[in-house]
Amino acid sequence: MNTRDAPSPELLDAFWRVVALHGWHGTTFARIAAQGGEGLADLRGRYATPVDLLRAHARAVDQAVLEGTVPGQFGFGSARDRVFDLLMRRFDMLAPHREGVLRLQRDLRRDPLSALLLSPILMASMAWTLEGAGISTAGIPGALRVQGLTGVWLSAARAWEDDDSVDLGPTMAALDRALDRAEKVARTLRLSEEEPQEAPGPVEGADSMPPDVVDPPLADTGIMMADASGAQDAGHRPEPLPPAVLTPPTANDPEAPGAPPTPKPPRKTGGTGSLPSA
């Protein structure tokens, strides 16, 4: 971020006091200048609209949250733990301007169009949060992760509105629940980056299945299950099939359909070993 555009703490305090007192639609540079003691000419040289000042504040918060965070560092807990920690740090960074931030949240809930226009600022912050947690934001899966984390943040921010505790326990509980829901959706959409668990090795002595053999279709399995359940409903267990049925017919099987008849061995007579006459 250009240091010229970086807002001073005094300017941010003035900006959020105006938002808290007059709401987002009542925030003007004239009121900000009156609150912060800066001239309009200086503000005009740095920011075109109050949205630019809001964006500059978001960047400053992102930098404070990410400071000391190494992207891709997996030494600290799971990816979920790292996201949780970064989002709670974000609440800590917003605490000095809590009244103005809460007023902005309430105003945007009543004005969906303004919320839509300002949403790229929040989504950019959520993308940096994922990057700080070592989670990719690339491609379509990354964009969906950003959308999902934005929903998680908004859910936790609603709890933050009514949370007056020192340790932000209710906010942490709401964030934990929102992350649980997001994880379930991510697993359903296969957006999770968790490493796949290694499949158990073959049991010693068991026949190994070649890799090109697949499980039977679900329809076949359903039919077999339906037959078994129907037999049990009739009041008796299904009788096991005889070995002849379980063994598929082959060309060497005399009962196989279409197999050539097997010649019968000659019968012995008398003990002389002679063949019977025709």
Residue 148, domain extent: 50-188
100 is a domain residue: yes
95 is a domain residue: yes
C-alpha span between 100 and 50 (Å, rounded): 14
Entry pTM: 0.66
* CA distance to 210, 224, 241, per residue, from 238 (Å): 31, 11, 9
Answer whether 19's CB lies under 8 Å from 27's CB: yes
258 is a domain residue: no
Q: What is the pLDDT of residue 110?
A: 95
115 is a domain residue: yes
105 is a domain residue: yes
C-alpha span between 149 and 143 (Å, rounded): 10
Residue type, 129: T
98 is a domain residue: yes
Q: Is 202 exposed, middle or buried (0-12, 13-18, 19+ CB in 10 A)?
A: exposed
Q: What is the pLDDT of residue 192?
A: 66
4 is a domain residue: no
10-residue mean pLDDT profile of the chain (278 residues): values are 71 96 96 89 93 96 86 68 94 96 96 96 96 92 94 96 94 95 80 52 48 40 37 45 43 47 49 44
239 is a domain residue: no
Q: What is the pLDDT of residue 68?
A: 72
The CATH number for 114's domain is: 1.10.357
How many independent structural domains does the chain possess? Answer: 1
C-alpha span between 17 and 207 (Å, rounded): 73
